[in-house]
Amino acid sequence: MSIQWYPGHMEKARRQVTEELKRVDMVIELADARVPLSSRNPMLDSLLQNKPRLLVLTKSDMADQHVTDQWLQYFKDEGTEAVALNALQNKGAKPIIEKSKKVTAPIFEKMKRKGIRPRAIRAMIIGIPNVGKSTVINRLVGKNTAKTGDKPGITKSQQWLKVGRDMELLDTPGILWPKFENQLVGYRLAATGAIKDDLLDFEDIAMFTVRLLKSRYPSALKERYNLEQFPEENRELFEQIGQKRGLLQSGGNIDEEKCAEIILRDVRGQKLGRISFETPEDWYNLDEDENIPVK
């Protein structure tokens, strides 16, 4: 299955981002801690160029903590300022301000030398759909200013927001890119809910998710669906889950669509605990054919 989604309003948003960059000191880029590289828009490197940037890994409460620690080390090693944020528990907002001051320090030192009075940091906040941007903004601002939701595409326009005396935020709509060069990226984003569900083949995405869980989180998979042993074939495992959930139709076949929906809902709802869909090692050994399941 080829996963693509690039509606017209995203092209408009891309143009807006390009136009507004000259008005900001830095960019706060949000990525999903469960898929830190898959959820980073590769278009941003060319759009942002040398603009100071802070990477914030959102939804860290949903990701495997051990894997998140690996990612923070990975970004540190490549010279990228990064911080993990548990937005729902209001943890990590202070480090965003502190690291923003760090990455913009050269700009304000230059302004000081020129005799320009200090002012708040002007930052653009950007990320793909459903990365948790509105929730992060609300925690930074301290009130429910931005709309929040579990569906991609909540923010459709730009707006400036004040973060105390330290920062002014320019909110932007989430932007996906025109084509996933590696379809594994699309599968990971689809599994986490970054792409609208009505554009997906649920069964394909669920099969991909089952394979990942079987390989990396077998205990959680067994416990959630009361499984004793895994069959060798992933297709059989998928059907076992459907049987355990009582999704049998007339003729003894399972309701595949309903089974797929339950699996994805359980994963996104943390019914199987904290799960990461990629590790730094995955990107060192990326092999699309080995990771995307077939029916």
For tokens 């509105």, name the residue.
134
Contact (Cβ atoms closer than 8 angstroms) between residue 190 and residue 200: yes
Contact (Cβ atoms closer than 8 angstroms) between residue 196 and residue 153: yes
Backbone angles phi, psi at 236, to 5 degrees: -65, -35
164 carries a ligand binding annotation: no
Written as tens digits, the pLDDT of the chain (295 aa) is 555 545 555 566 677 778 888 889 999 999 999 999 999 988 788 888 789 999 999 999 999 999 999 999 999 999 999 999 886 666 557 889 999 999 999 999 999 999 999 899 999 998 888 888 888 888 888 765 544 344 444 344 457 888 888 999 998 766 766 556 778 888 999 999 888 777 678 899 999 999 999 999 999 999 999 999 999 999 999 999 999 999 988 888 999 999 999 999 999 999 999 999 999 998 776 554 444 443 3
Q: Provide the residue ranges of all domains of the chain, joining segments of one domain with +.
A: 8-171, 201-291
Cα 188–Cα 32–Cα 134 angle in degrees, nearest 5: 125
Q: In terms of DSSP bridges, do strands 167-171 and 159-163 run parallel, antiparallel, or are they unpaired?
A: antiparallel
Cα 239–Cα 241–Cα 245 angle in degrees, nearest 5: 115
Tokens (6 digits) for 142: 């301290």
Backbone angles phi, psi at 76, to 5 degrees: -60, -45
- Residue 232 neighbours by CB under 8 Å, 6+ apart: none
DSSP state at residue 92 = S
Domains 8-171 and 201-291 share a fold: no
Tokens (6 digits) for 270: 């943390």
- Residue 132 neighbours by CB under 8 Å, 6+ apart: 30, 32, 58, 59, 87
d(CA 256, CA 203): 7
141 carries a ligand binding annotation: no
209 carries a ligand binding annotation: no
Q: Where are the strands (E) in 49-178, listed by range?
A: 53-58, 82-84, 121-127, 159-163, 167-171
157 carries a ligand binding annotation: no
The structure's pTM equals 0.85
Architecture of domain 8-171: 3-Layer(aba) Sandwich (3.40)
d(CA 43, CA 21): 14
285 carries a ligand binding annotation: no
Tokens (6 digits) for 46: 């060319």
155 carries a ligand binding annotation: no
d(CA 38, CA 186): 8
251 carries a ligand binding annotation: no
Q: What does CATH list as the number for 201-291?
A: 1.10.1580.10
